[in-house]
Structures are given as C-alpha cells and as structure tokens.
A and B are shown apart, each in its own frame.
Chain A
Amino acid sequence: GAVVSQHPSRVICKSGTSVKIECRSLDFQATTMFWYRQFPKQSLMLMATSNEGSKATYEQGVEKDKFLINHASLTLSTLTVTSAHPEDSSFYICSAISVTTGNYGYTFGSGTRLTVV
C-alpha cells in the first residue's frame, strides 16, 4: 500500500530558529500534499494544500511567510517553520494523494512533534 514517510518524528528547537519538516511519498507520486497541525485534544486543522510545482494554497489565518511550504517534486514536500516561537509548538501531519489506495488517496504521515523552547 501507499506509504508516506515524515521526518523528523520529533524536534526541539530554540525560539527564533527555523525548522524543516519533510514529507515523502515512498511508493507513489503525490501530486497534492496537505499539511495539518493538531493541538492537544483538538482536531486536525488544515494549514495548506500544496501541488507539485506550484505555490501552496494556505487556509485562512495561516501565515504563509511563517510556514513555508515547498513541493518541488512528486515525492517530496517540505514545511519550514520560520522564526519559531513557543506558540508554534504543535503536532504537524502531512497527507498525500495517491490514486492507487482504496480510500481515494489520502495517506498520512506519522507526524512531527515540534517543541519550541
């Protein structure tokens, strides 16, 4: 089945620094990837949708200059949290579209726990 690999699984960074999270589709080509964040005991909130080779579409209220998304290839999308602050601490999850999986293509990564200190 389709597999999405997300790295790192957890990261701690200092306030003011930038952190990059990678999302790779291992055995399929992902034309579209979605980035979510989840706060404790809350829902998965969509941050942005990225299509290969084009600019990401951000949801209302998500700062595009703070959360930089790059989807330069059909197997890799990256989310960079720039100038991170403690309020950016959250669980970030990517999802990729595959035409081969039975659930209409939504395969999720294992998530990244970001802690900003």
Chain B
Amino acid sequence: DQQVKQNSPSLSVQEGRISILNCDYTNSMFDYFLWYKKYPAEGPTFLISISSIKDKNEDGRFTVFLNKSAKHLSLHIVPSQPGDSAVYFCAARKDQGGKLIFGQGTELSVKP
C-alpha cells in the first residue's frame, strides 16, 4: 500500500525554467509534508516542508504547494539550475516525531 506516490520517475527541464515535481498521498491523517533532495549513495538532504494547515510555503527558489482536498502537493523550483539535478523525494508523517513515509522519488535533470 503506497501511501505516498510520485508518479513521474523522471523530469528534464531547461536551465532557467521552472521545475514542477508532483506528489500524491492517500492518508488524510498526514499532517506534515517534506521534500528531500538526494544524490546516489548519500543520505537525503532536507529542502522544504509544509504543514497541513497551510497551502503554500516558500523558501528562496523553492515553493511547496499543498492541495488537501486533492491530496496533492507539488514542489516548484524556479529558476532551475544544473546543480538542482538529483532525485527528489516527498515524504509525509502523521504526527510530530512520527515516522516518515517516502514516495518513490523523481529524478530531475536540469540541462544547461
């Protein structure tokens, strides 16, 4: 039972353009969502998060949008840079300090 889904395994974007990574979830009890960036053979690096009581959170080039009615969140990166190329995971949890459930990841490639 995949509670967090990232249906796009890969995404290719031109440098300077917007990257949009999507994530869907099934469990309405999730109260907090996080996005991580990961390189092969390394641990995930935290990017940005959003509480279920909000619909948008912004941090520099990164913005996360949450649509609770659709159980959908997205990560926008603008402008995209070649250094953004990595695998991006969304994750969700049910309560503070609770375990994180990860999506399958989306490999982003930003072309110069």
Contacts and interface: CB of A to CB of B under 8 A. Distances in A.
> How large, as a class, is the contact surface on chain B?
20 to 34
B31 to A, nearest CB: 10
Given A97-B97, A111-B42, A44 B34 contact: no
Nearest to B6: A43
A113 B41 contact: yes
A108 B44 contact: yes
A20 to B, nearest CB: 18
Interface stretch (A71-79, A80-88, A98-106): A98-106
What is the interface of chain B mostly: helix, strand, loop, or mixed? loop
Contacts of B99: 34, 46, 49
A25 interface: no
A4 B77 CA distance: 27
A9 B66 CA distance: 35
Contacts of A103: 34, 46, 49
Contacts of B42: 110-111
Interface of A: 4, 6, 9-10, 32, 34, 36, 41-46, 49, 91, 93, 95, 97, 103-106, 108-111, 113
